[in-house]
Amino acid sequence: MEPGNALSQLTKRFELRFLLLCMLLLGLAAGWLLTTRPRPRIEGEFLEREELRQADGWLFQRLEDPAAENRARACLALGRIRNPAAVEHLLKRLRDPAASVRASAAFALGLLEDAQYLERTPREDVSAALADLLNDAGRTVVAAAAESLGRMRARPAARRLAACSAPLAISLTAVARMEATELAPWAAAWLRSDDQDSRWAATLALVEMGAVVDDDLRASFVKLTRDRNNFVRAAAARGLGRAESSKDAIAALDHLTGDLDPKIRFEALAAMARLGDQTQNETVVRMLGDTNENVAAQAVRTLGALGDARARPLLEQLRGARRPLSTASVWALQALAAGDSVLLEEPPRDPLPDQEPPAEIGQPFSAARCQEIARTLGRRLRFETTDGDFDLALDYDNAPAAAERLYRSAVAGKLNNWSFVRVAPNGYIQAGPGDPAAAPPPQRPQLSRAPFLRGSVGVVRSETDREGPELFIALTSLPFAEGRYTHVGRLSSGDDIIDEITVETSILRVSPVSR
């Protein structure tokens, strides 16, 4: 045999073996996917039980499923269904060999024992088990346990949270939810961090937990008003609004009214309103001419909150201006008359009193519909507003039923002619129906661990087991919304549009986007 032919045959044998090896690896990969991911049929079964609020034998059996992803999905379903009988089963899953299952069980227990929606004290055995999970080797597990302890307001675990391996933003949010002010010095130490996200999270946590703003903390906030990060400066302004009025605080806020970022100017004016220092009237009057309508409207509200009667003629004159200034002037005149200082609402709140949704929950999807929804991906909606258009990618991965309901509401025209009822430039914009009778019926939450980042869209929740019909769009990260509001989607275009929205903006039409 010639050397060339021998080499050719050897090469062919090598190629054949390599091809067989590739086919074997592909087969193993396909088998892994089939055994570790819920197939659409199984996902449809989970959805059907969530829709019916039915924790039956089939669902409990899935907690023993060989596939870890099915066990994790079963934990999530039990948390969403909110059946008290599930607690013991979920506690057992905290010892599951798969980290994904332990994390899902921890999250589900937080849904079941969320102190905000309970008429009793959260179970101590649950908080103790979650506190033990803070030592878990899986960081995602520790993060889920920390989040749930925060929602349970389990203050005995607060110091352990400060030392656990969860991401700092999650630990700080949990401690703030507990209102564990004894850990304010720990949180304040992060204000000096080299990491801008840590400085932002620490500032926000100190404000939310209601920490006393003493001289040292006020000085730290004043320093942060010159931080290079816009979100840190905005949070620092909010923090100064909780301080006692002082020359350095007033000077820092006055400086921020000249910031290039409108959300910072907005927060500076809101902080001035809380401080109630009438020496700032001249600055506030100047801000009435701000180029950003939301900032100008906040200047009007601040003028009313400061309580100087000399502002009445100007406020009366502004009643004839167009919205949002006219709307703000009505509030300001009422505040001036009452000596009230009701200010800015921060997280998404209940629907407005005159838009309270009907009591009945919308009809659940049928079993066949649940199977269809389980196979649905990639749907988008286009919001056409008087200030421009933006697109929303619906979150069928984390909240398929909620995403489908929003899609169907859009197709039926139930989201047309909505208006923006609340605008907080450093928080969120909230939209609701002009005619509550034509709005989609309220639904049950479909909570997930999806983070609320800028552009995330959530459904306003008003009760333990009811949400809607209003939506909100995050203008910044909203850690205190996570795990309490359904994350129904995320903006895929129009990021510049949402900063221009005011209470004067209307939603003309919402329609599906062609693929």
Instruction: Specify whether the CB–CB gap between 465 and 488 falls below 8 A.
Output: no
The yes or no reply on domain 180-344 and CATH 1.25.10.10 is yes
Alpha helices in 360-428 (DSSP H): 367-374, 400-411
Q: To 5 degrees, how large is the angle CA 79–CA 81–CA 82?
A: 65
Please indicate, yes or no, whether the overall pTM of this predicted structure exceeds 0.85: yes
Tell me what pLDDT residue 437 has.
Answer: 77
Measured in Å, how far apart are the chain's first and last C-alpha atoms? 60
Alpha helices in 321-456 (DSSP H): 325-338, 367-374, 400-411
CA pair distance 136, 134, nearest whole angstrom: 6
Token couple for 244:
């006692």
Residue where the block lists tokens 């407005």: 352
Tell me what pLDDT residue 357 has.
Answer: 44
How many other CB atoms are found less than 10 A from the CB of residue 500? 16
CA-derived radius of gyration, the chain: 26
Token couple for 195:
């990491």
CA pair distance 489, 398, nearest whole angstrom: 9
Q: What is the DSSP string of 17-29?
A: HHHHHHHHHHHHH
CA pair distance 235, 200, nearest whole angstrom: 7
Tell me what pLDDT residue 41 has.
Answer: 84
Instruction: Specify whether the CB–CB gap between 473 and 390 falls below 8 A.
Output: no
CA-based nearest residue to 330, from 317, 343, 344, 341: 317
- So where are the chain's domains? 35-178, 180-344, 366-512
At 385-418, the pLDDT tens digits run: 999 999 999 999 999 999 999 999 999 999 999 9
How many other CB atoms are found less than 10 A from the CB of residue 376? 14
Q: Which residues are paired to 459 by β-bridges?
A: 471, 486
* One-letter amino acid for residue 110 of the chain: G
Tell me what pLDDT residue 24 has.
Answer: 65
CA pair distance 401, 415, nearest whole angstrom: 17
Question: Which helix H or strand E contains 242, and what residues bound it?
Answer: none
Q: Is the dihedral of CA 85, 91, 93, 99 positive or negative?
A: positive
Instruction: Specify whether the CB–CB gap between 465 and 490 falls below 8 A.
Output: no
On the question of a cis peptide bond just before residue 469, with omega within 30 degrees of 0, the verdict is: yes
State residue 3 phi and psi, 5-degree precision. Answer: -55, -35
CA-based nearest residue to 244, from 274, 199, 285, 279: 274
Domains 35-178 and 180-344 share a fold: yes
Mean pLDDT by 10 residues, the chain (515 residues): 54 61 61 50 95 95 97 98 95 98 98 93 97 97 98 97 96 97 98 97 97 97 98 97 95 97 96 93 93 93 89 86 82 77 41 44 90 95 97 97 96 94 94 84 93 96 82 96 96 94 94 87
SS (H, E, C) 31-92: HHHHHHCCCHHHHHHHHHHHHHCCCCHHHHHHCCCCCHHHHHHHHHHHHHHCCCCHHHHHHH
CA-based nearest residue to 456, from 479, 486, 490, 431: 490
CATH topology of domain 35-178: Leucine-rich Repeat Variant (1.25.10)
CA pair distance 438, 416, nearest whole angstrom: 10
Q: Which residues are paired to 428 by β-bridges?
A: 424, 474
3-state class of 249 per DSSP? helix
CA pair distance 285, 291, nearest whole angstrom: 14
Beta-carbon contacts of residue 133 (< 8 Å; ≥ 6 apart): 94, 102, 106, 141, 142, 145
- Please state the length of the chain: 515
CATH of domain 366-512: 2.40.100.10
